[in-house]
Structure 1
Amino acid sequence: MVNVQDIYNSKKGSVDEVLSVIETGDMIVIAGSANEPFTLLSNIHKLRDKGVTNLRFLSCLGDGKYEYLENDDYKDFAFVDSFFYGSTLRDAFKRERCSFIPSNLHDCARRKGATGQPNVYLGSATPMDKHGYVRTSLSNLYDKYYMETVDKIILEINPNLPVVEGDTEIHISQVSRIVEVNTPIPEMPILEISEVERAIGENIASLINDGDTIQLGIGGIPTAVAYALSDKKDLGIHTEMIHNGILYLIEKGVVNNSKKTLHKGKTVGGFAFGSRELYDFLDRNPSILMLRGDYVNDPYVIAQNDNMVSINTALQVDLTGQVASETIGTMQYSGSGGQSDTAYGAIHAKNGRSIIALKSTTKKGTISTINACLALGSAVTLSRNVVDYIVTEYGIAPMRGCSIKERAESLINIAHPKFREQLREEAKKLNIR
């Protein structure tokens, strides 16, 4: 019988030894969010002293701060392509250290292959079990997909990661090199909810029925939605991100997944990010299924959930219902993520709904987020054809089946009162009717 501990020991090395398998010209895909390999990435810049250069990184939702990215002396050493920007990459973009890949989450990895496939996977995993398996834990957005296609898999083995059930396991024999670390897992603080967010949450809650299955993003508004759903019953979860708002609903007994038509009894997600309390809840919890992003976010799969409700947020919308959620004008702020995936899936589900939420103003109330036209250069994240409701703190604007004239009137009615007359004048001038 093969001794898995012997295999494990043969793969184990120091940080420098493990990184030594990376070569000039490698394309390295990095595990995202809380699964980032922080120790390896904090040391990878040292490879330049050994003659390694021209590395290409592929990331999604990673936001760690590393020497190779923050120090422009390493411009020739590494460049990052990303499916989704956080604050670190927004800063790196300004310094010409990274570029954005437009994509939908469910097929981002497959479509990226058209311009070159990564040959190295760099991530974190749980300690090995007695059968020789480690688990990707908190992220499966594209992790298992790339683990099956790359030439080299390099992992940090971190005991602080929870063992999360689902399609997360990989056998140690498939791993190229490992390094043992004891790195704290990043946490997301519990968000304070503003009165505006609370009002939006309550408006959205009025659109949710007992027994619905929901997808809920992250941020102040989704957290407010979770709190506003506390009196609902028998909700289900099929979402790309499991966070503390979802934990709140599970602990309240609101979510039990008993009415789901797909994966009944299971909370389904593609990655998780939140507090230590959330990570402890996920650990070895048989009610959780962490599945691949190309499955969880496949609109065809999502549509198999009857009563599916997609709840997403936006930066701005126009009076016809077009949704911009990832750019501020021409500046890339975040990414499409799974917004289009979940909206398309929801509108094709039996009794499904696609909801977009946003505050009526930004910049301390000086700018309306509802405008006659989107700001010049804005990317349309979500087509106006797949939005059923747009919600602000001032109410709900129905979109499904509505004409442009009806949409514009409804959206003006939920805009901030001080901008409504201006919007009416602009709509008339631009012949939006």
Structure 2
Amino acid sequence: MAPKNKTPKVGTAEEAVQCIKSGDRIFVQGMAATPSLLTSAMATHGKEARLEGCEVYHLHTEGECPYVAEDCEGIFHTKSFFLGANVRKATQEGRADYVPIFLSETPLVFRKGVIPLDVAIVQVSPPDKHGFCSLGTSVDCTRAALQTARTVIAMVNKNVPRTHGDGIIHYTNLDHIVYHDTPLYTSHSKPGAASDVAIGNLIAEHLVADGATLQLGIGNIPNAVLAQLKGHKNLGIHSEMFSDGVLPLVESGVVNNSQKSLDRGKLVSTFLVGSQALYDFVDDNPVVDMRDAAYTNDPHVIKQQQKMTAINSCIEVDLTGQVVSDSIGTRIYSGVGGQLDFLRGAALSEGGRPILALPSRTNKGRSRIVPTIAEGAGVVTTRAHVNYIVTEFGIAYLHGRSLSERATALIAVAHPEDRPHLEAEAQKRGLLGKLSRRKAPVVAATAAVPEPIAA
């Protein structure tokens, strides 16, 4: 964002948030860049000034979330585009709300004026010698919020990495500056369960080709996939986010972005969450290109990458291929995010592979492949969008398959102890028909063969 002919006000967090008035619509930057000092000051100001009817918008945020506490009810009403653990309980109790939206379209609701913003609260790097700050680890829809908000409050923090791309903003675009140095939020992956490792092995061996461009989220399954890619060649990254699992592959040259159709040589993302080592890696690194979510998650951009391989997770899948990803029954758990953006883009890519991965059972032993989705659950990915479903027991290919063929393939990759029940339920629904008289087709095959691949 180009310089403006004004000078920001410099002060404390308490002074900066005085500009927030009743009825304001406020955006808060999220993920690792969550400006907690400012949101705490905002919550205190709201109570002391007896504000009413303020709306707060954001993606997943980290740390405490004081503005969704019970004593802020009526002052702030949060509308999350993607739920983090810190707002999940308040949302499920009705004290906060959820906006189902593709990540690719989150910047558009600000730019089109669907959600006009009064205040944007962000965290940025110190200005360089030319006066430009960086949004660091979180560009996503934050850039659009800065472009459209009436007032911008920024915490300037020396620990925010200076990233290249769309997150560059001149300090004169900031209305209030608060100087405060604090470490960014970090996330450290835990050792994956045996099922996660098995899923990672299947995806890496059968579905990731040399020269592929990858989209991987955070979590045990993506890390398990990345850990198995050491023998691959010329991989690229075009993703809504990446984490520490990518670093060893960059260092070894496995990920070099040399075969990408777009942004060749660049590792493209819209936000980052990981360890301090990840933040050190992206700091002033011209290979890392942090872009607006309207670009990274645009299916029309994604489909231009040859061999685009999108790996996403989900909560449950029914026997027809309907995928639940944002809710557990009626309880909203996370969000739509970029799942369908990337699944659709990868499906349209030459040699692309849209993948959904999930352990066959929950931690409590309940099958995640189900006869019908739970009552009240939301379908994020329709049965028509699904291609590959991967569990630790194999890979089911559903695209172009009938309901009977889908049920047969999904039962084949469910937990063995759950298969008899699933088959009986499928029989009741008439999903199997004559197919029930033969065993489900499970073959040892390459991903080029559209049949279930046995683990």
TM-score if structure 1 supplies the norm length? 0.95
Deviates further, 295-304 or 369-378? 369-378
Q: Is the 8 A contact 1:322 1:382 kept in 2?
A: yes
Amino acid at match of 1:294: A
Q: Is 1:260 matched with 2:253?
A: no
Other-structure match for 2:405: 406
Deviates further, 406-415 or 334-343? 406-415
Secondary structure, aligned partner of 1:397: strand
Other-structure match for 2:233: 233
Other-structure match for 2:223: 223
Other-structure match for 2:283: 283
Amino acid at match of 1:192: P
Other-structure match for 1:148: 147
In the alignment, the residues of structure 2 paired with residue 85 and residue 319 of structure 1 have an alpha-carbon distance, to the nearest angstrom, of 27
Other-structure match for 1:66: 65
Gaps (5+ residues) in structure 1?
none
Deviations 1:87-121 (A, max 9, x none): 11111123422101011010123246565312211
Q: Report how far residue 157 of structure 1 moved.
A: 0.2
In the alignment, the residues of structure 2 paired with residue 52 and residue 60 of structure 1 have an alpha-carbon distance, to the nearest angstrom, of 23
Q: Report how far residue 269 of structure 1 moved.
A: 0.2
Other-structure match for 1:104: 102
Amino acid at match of 2:59: C
Q: Is the 8 A contact 2:125 2:160 kept in 1?
A: yes
Q: Show the 5 A alignment for 1:271-310.
A: 271-310=271-310
Q: Is 1:328 matched with 2:328?
A: yes
Q: Show the 5 A alignment for 1:312-391.
A: 312-365=312-365, 367-391=366-390
In the alignment, the residues of structure 1 paired with residue 113 and residue 371 of structure 2 have an alpha-carbon distance, to the nearest angstrom, of 37
Secondary structure, aligned partner of 2:384: helix
Distance of aligned partners of 1:110 and 1:266 in 2 relative to their CA distance in 1, 3 Å threshold? same
In the alignment, the residues of structure 1 paired with residue 4 and residue 363 of structure 2 have an alpha-carbon distance, to the nearest angstrom, of 58
The partner residue of 1:19 within 14, 17, 20 is: 17
Distance of aligned partners of 1:95 and 1:331 in 2 relative to their CA distance in 1, 3 Å threshold? closer
In the alignment, the residues of structure 1 paired with residue 42 and residue 150 of structure 2 have an alpha-carbon distance, to the nearest angstrom, of 18
In the alignment, the residues of structure 2 paired with residue 188 and residue 388 of structure 1 have an alpha-carbon distance, to the nearest angstrom, of 30
Other-structure match for 1:189: 188
Q: Is the 8 A contact 1:8 1:172 kept in 2?
A: no
Q: Is the 8 A contact 1:63 1:89 kept in 2?
A: no
In the alignment, the residues of structure 2 paired with residue 285 and residue 5 of structure 1 have an alpha-carbon distance, to the nearest angstrom, of 23
In the alignment, the residues of structure 2 paired with residue 225 and residue 140 of structure 1 have an alpha-carbon distance, to the nearest angstrom, of 26
Q: Report how far residue 53 of structure 1 moved.
A: 2.9
Q: Show the 5 A alignment for 1:153-172.
A: 153-172=152-171
Other-structure match for 2:120: 121
Root mean square deviation, CA, Å: 1.8
In the alignment, the residues of structure 2 paired with residue 68 and residue 380 of structure 1 have an alpha-carbon distance, to the nearest angstrom, of 30
Deviates further, 43-52 or 367-376? 43-52
The partner residue of 1:77 within 60, 75, 78 is: 75
In the alignment, the residues of structure 1 paired with residue 132 and residue 300 of structure 2 have an alpha-carbon distance, to the nearest angstrom, of 31
Secondary structure, aligned partner of 1:350: coil
In the alignment, the residues of structure 2 paired with residue 234 and residue 6 of structure 1 have an alpha-carbon distance, to the nearest angstrom, of 42
In the alignment, the residues of structure 1 paired with residue 8 and residue 96 of structure 2 have an alpha-carbon distance, to the nearest angstrom, of 35
Q: Report how far residue 256 of structure 1 moved.
A: 0.5
Deviates further, 403-412 or 256-265? 403-412
Identity %: 39
Gaps (5+ residues) in structure 2?
433-455
In the alignment, the residues of structure 2 paired with residue 212 and residue 256 of structure 1 have an alpha-carbon distance, to the nearest angstrom, of 11
Secondary structure, aligned partner of 1:18: helix
How many residue pairs align between the two structures?
428
Secondary structure, aligned partner of 1:368: coil
Q: Report how far residue 252 of structure 1 moved.
A: 3.1
Other-structure match for 1:34: 32
In the alignment, the residues of structure 2 paired with residue 351 and residue 6 of structure 1 have an alpha-carbon distance, to the nearest angstrom, of 46
The partner residue of 2:41 within 40, 43, 63 is: 43
| Deviation >6 Å, runs of 4+ | 4-9
Distance of aligned partners of 1:425 and 1:10 in 2 relative to their CA distance in 1, 3 Å threshold? closer
In the alignment, the residues of structure 1 paired with residue 292 and residue 398 of structure 2 have an alpha-carbon distance, to the nearest angstrom, of 31
Amino acid at match of 1:210: D
